[in-house]
Structure 1
């Protein structure tokens, strides 16, 4: 058997090793999010009248969200949005939202209107700081009712935020395009439908929206972007995630 021979040491390169860099196109493709596969279908869908939750899921009901009597007074989507923002009663806000989106789908122009500084809200619920929100055990309420109330509040904030975006940035229509406002109006309608479902289930449990304190983090933070559409689009998903954290945390805890 031949003895093993030690190989001579390999020469090491001097200086930093060269790095392979992705091309600009490849880098952009690597970080660009893929579009939601259902986006086109969502945009083409007509206004949904499935605003009641039945035994087998969402269903239509003739006595829910009838068109608001004064909805016809507004002549544009922005005016309808301003009307929603000026509506304090949550269920009336949901009705007017559905009426606004239905009229938009039927050909209502975008137009322009003045957004209020703050959306109108009812006397209840009590608004406290985020740190003052207590657990369902401390409130003495069932976890499911506590969760539903929190989620209903998130949806109500989302309705106002979507309409505020439509109304406040309507003067930028030529820059943003009609699709921008169509998407936010549709989001508002979706959120109003969700609010209806949560409110209905709360009632079935013996509660109603306003029975528990809430915080106003979402609106407070998004109000800071009222003069900058780019900032508004950047801050919405970030703050909405923070707004939902208490609910997600409670789900994790069971």
Structure 2
């Protein structure tokens, strides 16, 4: 698990710098703050990778000793031509998954008795909230410049680029990062629809009761 986390953090460094360099031709549109924010993210991720590497060394291993997946870089390649797609796929999906998985990984490590590694994972998960928040901020900014609705655009991009959303979701961490629940959780939409439907029913009932009371008073009250 620690080696996998180190791999994710190393990919995150590359992803952040790729975002800075790949979309630098659009600096006049994106604003300098965009590039400064992702350079800062890359710096944080390099620190996270160092923590993981140091802990691996303490356990007698090095990064590269075990096989690793290519999922993150595949998402990077898919979104290489569209800054909105990159923000949707990486910070708002892949990094947001870290918010979901972090607390579960901490519990597992504590269960194994590895409190030192669990402390590292907890610190990384805490700092990842800000990285997701950066993604949310710039995604909304890009959508506004494109005159697009962020929620609809996010969902459209996930379908277009075949990016999968997976639960269970860490709602508290995602709320802290500023991701609206209706962007990623269909159950929240269902709940909202049910609430709206119930509200309509209540309004109709109130209207019917009011009309009956008026009719009753006009006819001299109940007989």
TM-score, structure 1 normalization:
0.39
Larger CA Rg, structure 1 vs 2: 1
TM-score, structure 2 normalization:
0.44
Q: Using CA pairs under 8 Å that are at least 6 residues apart, name the structure with larger relative contact order, 1 or 2.
A: 1
Structure with the larger helix share: 2
